[in-house]
A and B are shown apart, each in its own frame.
Chain A
Amino acid sequence: MAQIPIITEASTTPSPKVITLRIARYNPQHDSNKKFMEFNIPYERWTTVLEAILEVKKYFDHSVAVRYSCRQATCGSCGMIINGKPRLACFTKISELNSNVVTVEPMNNFPVIRDLAVKFERLFNTHHKVKPYLIHDDSEITTDSKEFLQSPKELEKYIQFSNCIKCGLCNSACPTMATDSLFVGPQALAQAYRYVADSRDKGKDTRLKIIDESHGIWRCHFAGSCSQVCPKGVDPAMGIQLLRGYMLGFRS
């Protein structure tokens, strides 16, 4: 384990608080086990975990692998396990963790590329599998009205689920994903609901058929962990249960 001293600034400025940032290091190509490196990082009330990791990359160890982009919880790139729970690093302030030690690890249930970066192929494949687009005989271009009209009430039925940023935190928290690699997962199921509930879409039967399989919707046991970790308030657990309501005939 590397113990690296903190960076000290000019003596005139008050010394900021310091946390120990533990970063999981693992390269599947030549490491047999995950190791942790520790860094002492100064932080302010507004410092995010991502900023602390970037501080490490800037001053201590540039080789730490982390995926990030927007830094404002929009791109869904920086999902990781922070102090045991899946969170977005850019959306998690160190001060709200209430701990002097912050441990960051790659998301569970995703193959690791290196350190904190994971592969998203499976998530994108399952997302694609549920046909995440409007299925309609006409198109907005060919119809006379040039648009599909929709009332605010109809919009309310699915707008929450269209907030998904595909960060994968829900799949990382899901207890079924922990043991079943073939499970479609809460992200894709919530997106299936998003389009099934859309009044402009005509692909309900197609989608319900896709998820009605042994590793499909029936493997969800309503533990609700996906909804608890969602950084955008999508509530995949609700979408999945409402979707199952369609399949069981409780909804039409």
Chain B
Amino acid sequence: MTNQDEHKEGIGGMINPRRYGIERVAYLLMRLSGLGLLAYFIGHIYETSSILKGQIGWNEFLELTQTNEGHIILAIVIAMCVFHTVNGIRVMLGQGGVGVGKPARPDYPYIPASQNVRHKMGIYSAIILAAIAMMYGLAVMFGE
């Protein structure tokens, strides 16, 4: 069966953050930051392997990170790292059944207990902390 036959939303539907609130935004950011950190990890291995070319080769490669573009990329990496860590702790706790509420007879308008204030605060905290860390990183790198 093709995607059309199955009428699946596909990746476009999976990454659409607009319909289901901040939880779906966090879901998207978690995936993006995870992929970004994976890309950085691969780049980092490549970067550190330049030491095999000796001190000159190492210094030449390191200069790339001292440019404006390099600083901005590193600041984004800091933000991704902080968001992925803080939101990851929230998700891990939630996935263990911690802080998702207790089953009870639902009453209209059926506000889901698993989407509670604690989790929303966790998501906003992750975003705010990531923004603060990124700004701090930018201040340190561009303030040299």
Interface membership of A251, Cβ < 8 A: yes
User: Most chain-A CB neighbours within 10 Å: which of B8, B30, B91?
Assistant: B8
From residue B116, how far is it (CB to closest CB) to chain A in Å?
10
Q: Is the CB of B104 within 8 A of A230?
A: no
Residues of chain A within 8 A (CB-CB) of B97 are: 241-242, 244-245, 250-251
Residues of chain B within 8 A (CB-CB) of A179 are: 8-11, 14
Interface membership of A231, Cβ < 8 A: yes
Interface membership of B46, Cβ < 8 A: no
From residue A96, how far is it (CB to closest CB) to chain B in Å?
11
Secondary structure at the A interface, as helix, strand, loop or mixed, is loop
Q: Is the CB of A109 within 8 A of B106?
A: no
From residue B36, how far is it (CB to closest CB) to chain A in Å?
17
Secondary structure at the B interface, as helix, strand, loop or mixed, is loop
Residues of chain B in range 5-41 having any CB-CB distance to chain A below 8 Å? 5-11, 13-15, 19-21, 23-24, 27, 30
Residues of chain B within 8 A (CB-CB) of A234 are: 106
Q: Is the CB of A109 within 8 A of B112?
A: no
From residue B125, how far is it (CB to closest CB) to chain A in Å?
16
Interface size class of A (residues with CB under 8 A): 35 or more
CA–CA, A108 and B101, complex, Å: 28
A interface with B by C-beta (< 8 Å): 28, 84-85, 106-112, 118, 156-161, 163, 173, 175-179, 181, 197, 220-225, 227-235, 237-239, 241-242, 244-245, 248, 250-251
B interface with A by C-beta (< 8 Å): 1, 5-11, 13-15, 19-21, 23-24, 27, 30, 91, 94-98, 100-101, 103-108, 110, 112-115
* A-B contacts, 15 listed (Cβ < 8 Å): A85-B20, A106-B7, A108-B9, A118-B7, A160-B104, A175-B24, A178-B10, A222-B94, A223-B23, A224-B114, A232-B106, A233-B106, A235-B112, A241-B95, A244-B95
